[in-house]
Structure 1
Amino acid sequence: MPLSECIEACEQAHRACTESVIHGLQHGGKAAEWELVQLLLDCADINETAADFMLRSSRLHHLTCQVAAEVSDKCATACEKLSKEDVRLKECAEACRRAATACRKTIKN
């Protein structure tokens, strides 16, 4: 997988997680619970960092991609639990899964 595809997937996950935090805080309920908000923020940050490492051709990008894949999977699982109640979280889960998959493919290459 080209790095450009992984960068795009990480950027999309960053955006989806950030938007989901705002959405959850505005609408309340389970989407605003601290544990989920914290995970969404962690996922947004690590995906942004992974994308930055790849953009600057860091020789260490495989390390940030590995962490991004793990955090993105955890975030996707958490969002999927609420996805029937909240379309925004369903979309976030999908973006996180794509980022995790893209990061793992990048690590293997």
Structure 2
Amino acid sequence: MENMTQHAEHVDICFDCAEACERCATACLQEENVQMMADCIRLCRDCADFCTMCARLTARDSQFMKQFMVLCADVCDACADECSKHDDEHCKACAEACRRCADDCRRMSANA
């Protein structure tokens, strides 16, 4: 039962991160200088996709979830690093969600 609870919590963390990334990318698209935010938008979109897939693999207890968690953590780190370069609240929130997800992905992959 504990494993299922951990999986459910991880799924929530991944989906929270995906949502933060989608919100950040959407807000960045509204910036005056969109080109300056291009890397942030690209990384947020990639991260949202990786987090969504990681959540789905975890929810179904896929045989590939451990490897995907490691990769997802790397993508989350890259997104957090990029978002941390910007002072916008949506970027700060995204960076925080990405760091939390990366940490949880590493914790879960070590225990999977």
TM-score (norm 2): 0.88
Match of residue 15 from structure 1: 19
**2:29 pairs with 1:25:** yes
Aligned length: 107
Match of residue 95 from structure 2: 93
Which runs of 5 or more residues in structure 2 are unaligned? Answer: none
Match of 1:27, SS? coil
Match of residue 52 from structure 2: 48
Which runs of 5 or more residues in structure 1 are unaligned? Answer: none
Q: Deviations over 1:69-97 (max 9, x none)?
A: 00001100111111xx2011100000000
Question: For the pair shown, which has the larger CA radius of gyration, 1 or 2?
Answer: 2
Q: CA RMSD in A?
A: 1.6
Structure 1 position 8, deviation (Å): 1.0
User: Which amino acid in the other structure matches residue 56 of structure 1?
Assistant: R
TM-score (norm 1): 0.91
User: Identity percentage over the alignment?
Assistant: 32
CA contact (8 A) 1:21 1:32 kept: no
